[in-house]
A = this chain, B = another copy of it.
């Protein structure tokens, strides 16, 4: 090794290769640091399209790219497949599950969020959530098997229970899942079954609050509801789920009365909690587990530790920065700038969030868009949503494949990834 390589360059450890971690890493490409990016998975995931994998419109590799491949030309980065299990801020050390330890000079924790079942962890087995590719494939398998089970049984009650689908949570993920599920039942599976009519499936979207897409203006929530209903989704608001088990769920209606519904497929899109890694820090966290960071996104008392993305709880002008991809990217880029400033002996600037607006897709040719008061809904919003998402897939060469798949799915109503892996057991 040359003498230059031997001298100490600050070591930046980035935990998590999602939007925040990856954007921070890339923004440090020309910095005089060495970076270790640690992730439990070998890929970066384009999470906004994850519901398309769950509903068999896209393959898993269409929306994921190996972190090593994305970063192969950035010579100051080492990618490490591994799980962080410990953090010692005093010795500036991160412990990995395989026994290794990484010493850091600057640390970015960006391990994202997971599902939360509001204290009902037993619901997880019956109502899977959607955060990872494994989650998406598990949901895909459940959806496809439900129609198979309905076709195989002769018992009308059991058949109805298999054709009863519920999505809990009326945020963007719940709306996407319910809208696409209705399309699958009404169009994709047409002609494929002989004993059932898949269009008989009931798809219900359940929201405990008063309206779906609560982060949008009320008029767009109403439009989203109308579009969902046009797609065949039954929308229930103001009705919290009381319990979920293997056979169905119990709903508390607006009148306070509870109803039991037999439904074999319940999907969870209601609660999000920050990654448990936040608990490794000696820092205050909010109810959802998000670390309450300082203005520069560092942890109070630990200027060498930053938190970004869904793990960070950031309040700006009295409003929480939302847990969306653009916010995570901006936080990641900010942390890179803060680290550069520190290394140059300057104070780190405060994080500013640039809100470009809010968009959500609902289903075929249906979406809502809110750009600071400029509102769109329906077909035009859907085209806007599509263009934005294809544009942001840049960096993945999979863009072409995703476009071809989408064009095909659009014209044919077909979803090419309807493959059940793992031969199903009888107790499925």
Contact = CB atoms under 8 A, between A and B. Distances in A.
A194 interface: yes
A16 to B, nearest CB: 13
A132 B107 CA distance: 43
Interface of A: 40-43, 56, 59-62, 64-66, 68-69, 72-73, 78-83, 97-98, 100, 133-134, 137, 144-145, 148, 151-152, 189-195, 397-398, 400-401, 404-405, 408, 412, 414, 416-424, 426
A68 B145 CA distance: 13
Contact of A61 (B65, B69, B82, B417): B417
Contact of A152 (B98, B191, B400): B98
A31 to B, nearest CB: 17
Contact of A59 (B61, B72, B100, B134): B61
A60 B53 CA distance: 12
Contacts of A61: 56, 59, 416-419
Nearest to A422: B134
Nearest to A192: B68
Given A192-B68, A405-B401, A83 B423 contact: yes
Contact of A69 (B40, B194, B418, B426): B418
A412 B41 CA distance: 24
A404 B397 contact: no
Contacts of A426: 97-98
A424 B81 contact: yes
A61 to B, nearest CB: 4
29 contacts: A40-B423, A40-B424, A41-B420, A41-B423, A42-B418, A43-B418, A43-B420, A56-B61, A59-B59, A59-B60, A60-B417, A60-B419, A61-B416, A61-B418, A66-B418, A68-B192, A68-B193, A72-B192, A79-B192, A83-B423, A100-B152, A133-B419, A134-B423, A137-B421, A397-B408, A398-B416, A400-B408, A401-B404, A401-B416
